[in-house]
Amino acid sequence: MQRNMFFVMYLILSIIPLHGESTQCSPFILPMPKRIVAVGDLHGDIHATRQALRLAGVLHMKRDEWIGGDTFLVQVGDQVDRGDDEIQVMSLLHRLGKQARAEGGRVEVLVGNHELMSAQGNFRYATKGAMRNFQRYLSLRSGGTFASKFLAEERKAILIVGDTVFVHAGLLHKHFKGEISSTEAINVLNQEVAAFLKGERRAPPSKTWGNDGILWTRRFSKIDLCTDTCKQLKKTLNRLPGNVRRMVVGHSVQRDGISPACDASVWRIDVGMSKGVLATSPQVLEIKQDGSVNILGKSIET
């Protein structure tokens, strides 16, 4: 009888997706560091990229050198398109990632819809300067050198750090529909995106594209979100592993700067800093271990 009871309890715990489920079995779920800084879409502008990173306190004022110590930097995707400096932006983030790990910090870079578009061979937003800078067609296409090595190996589609989930455009509850474990769903989606970038599958996963795709949705872009959207967002956050309190997204430009919505359950951090977009002054979102969230918004000249 006791043995049967233990078996029933095991089935219940394994089937019901509990808020706060184990997060130990995923490279896409990381513990909360002392400090996180999140940077929005960069779109091929190395000057704006350096401004944002210096504003975040992780880049040396005169050299491309990590000074952030054990800070975690998260860039929410769209390093490419609309600007000439794509290769410089991606290379800088790559180098800083190596330097940060040596000091106990991290640089985590997400895949945006423009990275995925390039991997599909859609270069309509690429500038002539970017096309001249390197063999873009061969490098960024699915299975290409850059796509296979830099994007597939170093980029993530969804990342949870502490109590914050980062994704380029937004997560919806439907993205986890039918999944036993949201942790496994996150693992699988990241793996499928990486497989596409490596050229191991013919198309990106369907959850990344369309009006409700995690790299494409605009559901969280409006200044004031409706009650139903906020309710659905809370439901989504409760579905995630751990104790996720907020979602941070880019993708949709916020003309008035970084903005929260739904009682700060979502933060929109794309401010259009690239000269190929709005050329606005960079802003950075800072999340501290004590739970405080700050907007760093003073422009720093280079």
Say how far apart CA 23 and CA 30 lie, in whole Å: 8
Q: Are 79 and 117 in contact (CB under 8 A)?
A: no
Look at the chain and report how many structural domains it folds into: 1
- Beta strand spans in the chain (E): 29-30, 35-39, 72-75, 106-110, 155-156, 158-161, 164-167, 246-249, 259-261, 266-268, 284-288, 293-296
Q: Is residue 169 part of a domain?
A: yes
Residue 21 lies in a domain: no
Q: 301 lies in a domain?
A: no
Q: What are the DSSP calls for 25-59, one per residue?
A: T-TTEE---SEEEEE---TT-HHHHHHHHHHTT-B
Query: Is residue 15 in some structural domain?
Result: no
Predicted model pTM: 0.90
Q: For position 7, what pLDDT does the model report?
A: 33
CB 118 within 8 A of CB 126: yes
* Residue 130: CATH number of its domain: 3.60.21.10
First to last CA, the chain: 72
Indicate whether 298 belongs to any domain: no
* pLDDT value for 250: 98
- The residue segments making up the domain with residue 129 are 29-290
Q: Which amino acid is at 219?
A: R
CA distances in angstroms from 289 to 3, 31, 157, 276, listed in the order given:
42, 10, 23, 34
Identify residue 228 by its one-letter amino acid code.
D
CA distance 132 to 176: 41
Mind telling me the catalytic residues?
Answer: 114
User: What pLDDT shows up at residue 4?
Assistant: 41
46-55 helix and 86-102 helix, angle to the nearest 10 degrees:
30
C-beta separation of 192 from 214 below 8 A? no
Query: Considering the domain boundaries, does residue 283 fall inside one?
Result: yes
297 falls within a domain = no
Per-residue pLDDT of the chain (302 residues; tens, 9 = 90+): 444 433 333 333 333 334 445 545 799 999 999 999 999 999 999 999 999 999 999 999 999 999 999 999 999 999 999 999 999 999 999 999 999 999 999 999 999 999 999 999 999 999 999 988 777 877 899 999 889 988 999 999 999 999 999 999 999 998 987 766 899 999 999 999 999 999 999 999 999 998 999 999 999 998 889 999 999 999 999 999 999 999 999 999 999 999 999 999 999 999 999 999 999 999 999 999 999 999 999 544 43
**Residue 259 belongs to a domain:** yes
